[in-house]
Every structure is written in structure tokens, then in C-alpha cells.
Amino acid sequence: MKFPSNDIISLLDERLEFNVAESTNKDLILKEIWDDEFSKALMNLKLDYGTSQGNKPLREKIGEKLKVTSNQIAITNGSAFGIFLAMLCLCEKNDEVLTVQPNFPPTMDLIESLGFKRVLVKLSFEEEYRMDIDRLFSQVTDKTKLIILVSPLNPTGTIHTKTEIVEISERLNNQYPNCKLLIDETYREATYGDNDVIPTCAGLRDNIITVSSLSKCHGTPGLRIGWLYSSDEQFIQQVGIAKMNTVISNSVLDEFVALQVLKKEDEIFKSRRIHSIAGLELTKKWVEQNKEFISWIEPKAGALCCIKLKEDKFDKDHIEAFYSSCKAMGIQIANGEWFGESRRYFRLGFGYLEIEKLSITLNKLSEVLRKE
């Protein structure tokens, strides 16, 4: 097994001052969820092994959110590990895994690294990253064991509608009953202001698996807590066995804090959704002010969006100069190559920085655009 190199690793290892590469809501600080009851329980927490399926009260709390039972939930090390476990448990050598491009790099890179055949369905900026279901099924074969869709999509914040998901699920049941549909819902709850939360696909159809995590919407990527849902409890048990054979269990400390995060979820979401809508409105104004140089697709959810450098203003040399100037000015952006797009596109996160700093960063980006 060998994983390809991808510069997205710089998000972990290189932190520039003006970071609009991150796609999380602003980081949660422990004092936001701290209270006396939590403090007393934490002091008495026994640091033993966790369970293969994960902390039961945590699974029950997630089950309440999704309106499913705790036996249909496995706690994972982030949603990325949930996707890893799903592939590992569902696919054999020479099987095919189909997903979309652009996408979170590990989702695409895991497939071939685990020894399966990767099939990519290209979504385009010009079509606002909408899914053509007939095009999708033109690439499904009897060897396709798993289809992975992301809604809202990283790096664009666009969504697949419930109608689309149901149609895909029903066509799979009728034509390819051995193929499962996995929906990555990592950004689902990262909405803006009073906007309605996008409904989960958990419980929608028996051939649908979902994954999500506390990383993006709750602003706690350092906890490394996610979950995988399936109505097939035997599959969930198999996931627990695979988890035991790879990482043994999750950290009981992470699971303990994660439960407290979910108990305080309403407060956490309220502040972050206010913050995100302020960031989104600021980004809208910035796009309008620079429409001579850039275009975008407004996101439906997630504190992120996709920006395109216009062809008549940016040839190949100007694109490279743009990225060089950004780095020189301490601006960290996520270039499209990370996600299987070209460098003409970049992901811009508007929920991570404080609003004042986001405003400064966008002004600096305007300088770069006009200079190049």
C-alpha cells in the first residue's frame, strides 16, 4: 500500500497567518463546553480501552440526531476513517469504487491505495457541480461495490438533492443490488444563520450508508471523532471488527469530550452559524467587488466555496504568480489540484478566521488579484 503525495498535507504542517484554506467552522475552545458536571466527570474518567463500536452513550446521542438506533452507529476516527472502513468491509480485490471529482483527496486516493479500481465521475464548475445521474450510471458495472457521494461537496459547498439520492438508491436496488451508496455528510449541519439544516440521508434507504464527524460543523477536528451509519447491523459489527484490527478503538477521552460537545450542540451551532453567515456575506461582497477577475458558485452549506480565476485575466503564468504572491503575503489558500481540479480553481474558507481577520485577508487577496 502506497499513498500518493498531495499538498493538502500542508494544512496540517504549515499554518500561514491569513488562513482561508481551512474548511472548518472556527475552532471550539474547551471553555465553551466546560461546566462543573463535565469537570467532575472528567477527573474521574478511566483511561482504559474503548469499545470496538464506540462509546454507547455517544452512539445513542448520535442516533437521536439521525433518528436511528445506536446499534446502527459505529464511532470512527473522523469521517475519513469511516469511508476507509466501509471500503475495507465491502470491497474485494478487483472490485470498483466510484466517486466524484473534485473531492477530498483521501476519499479519492484511498481507493487505489487499498487495491480497488477507482472510477471518477467528473463534476464541472460550468454545470455548478450538479450530478448527471445517467452519466453516473454509465460508469457503474457489476464490479462496482460502492458509490461515494459528498453532500455538501468539498470543496464547493454544493449539494445533491434528496430526490437525486433516492433515484440513485432505487436504480442501484433495481440494477446493481450488491452495490452500496455512501453519502459523506461531513458539512451537512454547517448552515448559515437561521437557514434550515439539510436533512440527513441516514434511514432513507437500506442500501444507503452515511458518514459524518464533529470536525467541520462543530469546529473540533482535533477530537478525531466521526461516525458511520448503516441499517445493516451485521455490517456495523464487521466495521467494529475491522476497526479493532486497525486502530483497536477510539480514544475514550475523545469520545467523552465528543459527548459533551453534542450535549452543548445547540449553543455551539448558534454561534458558529452566526459567524458563518457573516463570513458568507463578506465573501459575497468580495466576489462582487472582484467579478472582473473571479467567479464563484455560492455554497448551500459548509464554511467553504469554490473560486475560479477567469481565463481572460489569468493565463498559466499569471495563475502561478497568483499563488506565489499569496504565499509571500502569508495568505493560505487551497488550490484546486488538491481536489482533482486545475489550479485555476481554489477553495476559500470563510468560517475559520475571525470576521475582522477574514476581512483583512480578503482585502489582501484583492490586491493579489489586481496585481496579477
Model pLDDT, residue 92: 95
Would you state the pLDDT for residue 3? 84
DSSP annotation of 25 reads P
Is residue 154 domain-shared with residue 236, that is, in the same domain?
yes
Range of the domain at 200: 46-263
Same domain, 96 and 187: yes
pLDDT of residue 14: 87
Q: What are the distances in angstroms from CA 371 to CA 20, 306, 307, 345, 348?
A: 19, 21, 17, 18, 19
Residue at grid coordinates 502561478 = 320
| Cis peptide bond prior to 102, omega within 30° of 0 | yes
Q: What angle do CA 224, 230, 235 make, to 5 degrees?
A: 95
Same domain, yes or no, for 154 and 88? yes
Taking the CA atoms of 167, 173, 175 and 179 in sequence, report the sign of the dihedral they define.
positive
Residue 41 in any domain: the answer is no
In a domain, 34, yes or no: no
For residues 201 and 275, state if they share a domain. no
In a domain, 174, yes or no: yes
Residues 231, 344, single domain; the answer is no
What is the pLDDT, as a whole number, of residue 170?
98
pLDDT by 10s per residue, the chain, length 372: 678 888 898 888 888 999 999 999 999 999 999 999 999 999 999 999 999 999 999 999 999 999 999 999 999 999 999 999 999 999 999 999 999 999 999 999 999 999 999 999 999 999 999 999 999 999 999 999 999 999 999 999 999 999 999 999 999 999 999 999 999 999 999 999 999 999 999 999 999 999 999 999 999 999 999 999 999 999 999 999 999 999 999 999 999 999 999 999 999 999 999 999 999 999 999 999 999 999 999 999 999 999 999 999 999 999 999 999 999 999 999 999 999 999 999 999 999 999 999 999 999 999 999 986
- Residue 253 sits in the same domain as residue 275: no
- Determine the pLDDT at residue 109: 94
CB 96 within 8 A of CB 176: no
323 vs 343: CA distance, rounded Å? 9
Is the same domain home to 124 and 163? yes
Cell of 314: 489569468
Q: Around Cβ 35, how many Cβ atoms within 10 Å? A: 12
Region of 248 please: left (phi>0), alpha (psi -120 to 50) or beta.
left
- 270 in the same domain as 135: no
Establish if 348 belongs to a structural domain: yes
Distance between CA atoms of residues 358 and 286, nearest Å: 11
pTM above 0.85, yes or no: yes
CATH code (residue 317): 3.90.1150.10
Question: Does the residue 114 lie in any domain?
Answer: yes
Instruction: Establish if 33 belongs to a structural domain.
Output: no
Q: What is the predicted pLDDT for the residue at 372?
A: 60
Are 295 and 172 contained in the same domain?
no
Domain annotation covers residue 38? no
Does residue 246 form part of some domain? Answer: yes
